[in-house]
Amino acid sequence: MVKEGEKNSGGAADEWKEFLWNPRTHQFLGRTASSWGLILLFYLIFYISLAGMFVLTMYIMLLTLDDYKPTYQDRLATPGMMIQPKGDSLEIVYSIKDTESWDLYVQALDAFLAPYNNSQQVMNNDVCPPDQYFVQEDSGKVRNNPKRSCQFNRTMLEDCSGLTDRYYGYRDGKPCILLKLNRVIGMLPGKDGMSPYVTCGAKAKDRDKMGELMFYPPNGTFNLMYFPYYGKKAQVNYTQPLVAVKFINITLDTDVNVECKINSNTIRSHSDRDKFAGRVAFKLRINSD
């Protein structure tokens, strides 16, 4: 019995050796050199075609991408709103008597508004007919690029331009806050010639504290001529329209929570998906000493 086993295992070892290299048939691992060659050739061609297909599909995909438009853009029903100056949080807190506490806000506004200087705007942009869209579509395959943009002059912000009052009202406890709508390519924010406009309010208990507001441009409108926006690459000199709100009788030494929102006949200000869309809330606190 034991001998049988030995013989068997010896046979298996021989078989294994013969499988590895069979000197009679010149087979390696059960195949002849030409058989191996054919297999290698097959896989070589197979993988080269696979790589070729990959490169081809990538190439076709890249051809269909448009440099000027995002292929996919989340269809925003309502764009977000933001304020300037903005700190780490949406809070404007300072003391009138402490120059340093508001100087940072003034500097931030100066820097932000530099590109809005009339001289800059006249150099870069056009005077457009107001209250209508500035449409510059491509005609079929022919690009209408680069696209022009409309002037938004710094002087249009009047008391909040930093030109008539270089402290933007901060020194007098009547601060200006700038509001902008986030850019959305192709957005048409109003119809029938009605430009969207901003309104601001305070929570019930803060309503009296907020006091009267002044808006620049008048009525707090984002004129239709600044839309649609065609994207950074197509519309290189685009200047985002602004609305400035000046708090001319805000109660001092108390927190005032303000919320500003966009009003339009095409964009819903209360999106189901995002209850902060089209609005921005911030805290103001101006201390008298």
Interface residues with ligand NAG (CB under 6 A)?
A: 114, 117-124, 127, 146, 148, 151, 153, 208, 211-212, 218-219, 236-237, 249, 251
Strand ranges for 17-72 from DSSP E: 21-22, 27-28, 31-32
- Give me the sign of the Cα torsion angle 65, 78, 219, 251: negative
Nearer to ligand NAG, 156 or 277 (CB): 156
Least separation in angstroms between CB 164 and ligand NAG: 11
Nearer to ligand NAG, 32 or 254 (CB): 254
Least separation in angstroms between CB 213 and ligand NAG: 11
Least separation in angstroms between CB 227 and ligand NAG: 15
Q: Are 260 and 271 in contact (CB under 8 A)?
A: no
Nearer to ligand NAG, 153 or 257 (CB): 153
Least separation in angstroms between CB 220 and ligand NAG: 9
Least separation in angstroms between CB 209 and ligand NAG: 7
- Give me the sign of the Cα torsion angle 174, 281, 153, 121: positive
Q: Are 195 and 220 in contact (CB under 8 A)?
A: no
Nearer to ligand NAG, 30 or 218 (CB): 218
The C-alpha atoms of residue 130 and residue 158 are separated, in whole angstroms, by: 18
CB proximity list for 92: less than 8 A, separation 6 or greater: 85, 105, 175, 177, 282, 283, 284, 285, 286
Residue 134 identity: F
**How buried is 114 (Cβ within 10 angstroms: 0-12 exposed, 13-18 middle, 19+ buried)?**
exposed
In the β-sheet with 243-247, what is the strand arrangement from edge to edge?
81-84, 176-181, 243-247, 213-216
Least separation in angstroms between CB 174 and ligand NAG: 11
Least separation in angstroms between CB 49 and ligand NAG: 46
Nearer to ligand NAG, 104 or 114 (CB): 114
The C-alpha atoms of residue 10 and residue 27 are separated, in whole angstroms, by: 21
Nearer to ligand NAG, 180 or 209 (CB): 209
Nearer to ligand NAG, 117 or 271 (CB): 117
In the β-sheet with 255-263, what is the strand arrangement from edge to edge?
91-95, 279-287, 255-263, 197-202
